[in-house]
Amino acid sequence: MDHNNGNEVSPTVDSYEVLVDDNFHYMDEDERYSAGVFQTYGEALRHAKRIVDKSLHELHETGKSADDLIASYVLFGQDPWIRPTPQGMERFSARAYAPQLAHEIVSGSTDQSSG
């Protein structure tokens, strides 16, 4: 999904919104919701990562491989993104973040309280 709308940053940006798309309803903006507005990009980023963490834990089943967990996430998981992205920073991508976390979950090196 293209999340470039609203990513242009003006020097007066004083808040960052975490928006969440539902991968099950891909490209359906009616399914999008706001998960909060934060004063700093760092706070918004931590919140977006927690959403991915929770989504992956909800999709995880004993015996499921990391690749299977990632496939489930891409089909059914929550896809948070942050608006705006500060100038000079790479846009947060839940799909890029999820594989690393999926491997940690499957290997047992993380639990739902992390993030």
Q: What confidence score (pLDDT) does residue 59 get?
A: 94
Structure tokens, 70: 């990632």
Task: Kindly state the average pLDDT of the residues 86-111.
Answer: 88
| pLDDT tens per residue across span 30-77 | 778 899 999 999 999 999 999 999 999 999 988 889 999 999 999 999
Distance CA 54, CA 17 (A): 19
DSSP H or E stretch at residue 18: strand 16-22
Task: Kindly state the average pLDDT of the residues 75-87.
Answer: 92
Contact criterion met (CB below 8 Å) for 21 and 31: yes
CB atoms inside a 10 Å sphere around CB 80: 24
What predicted TM-score, i.e. pTM, was given to this entire model? Answer: 0.77
Q: What confidence score (pLDDT) does residue 4 get?
A: 43
**pLDDT tier for residue 108 given thresholds of 50, 70 and 90:** confident
- Taking 50 as the threshold, does the pLDDT of residue 11 lie above it? no
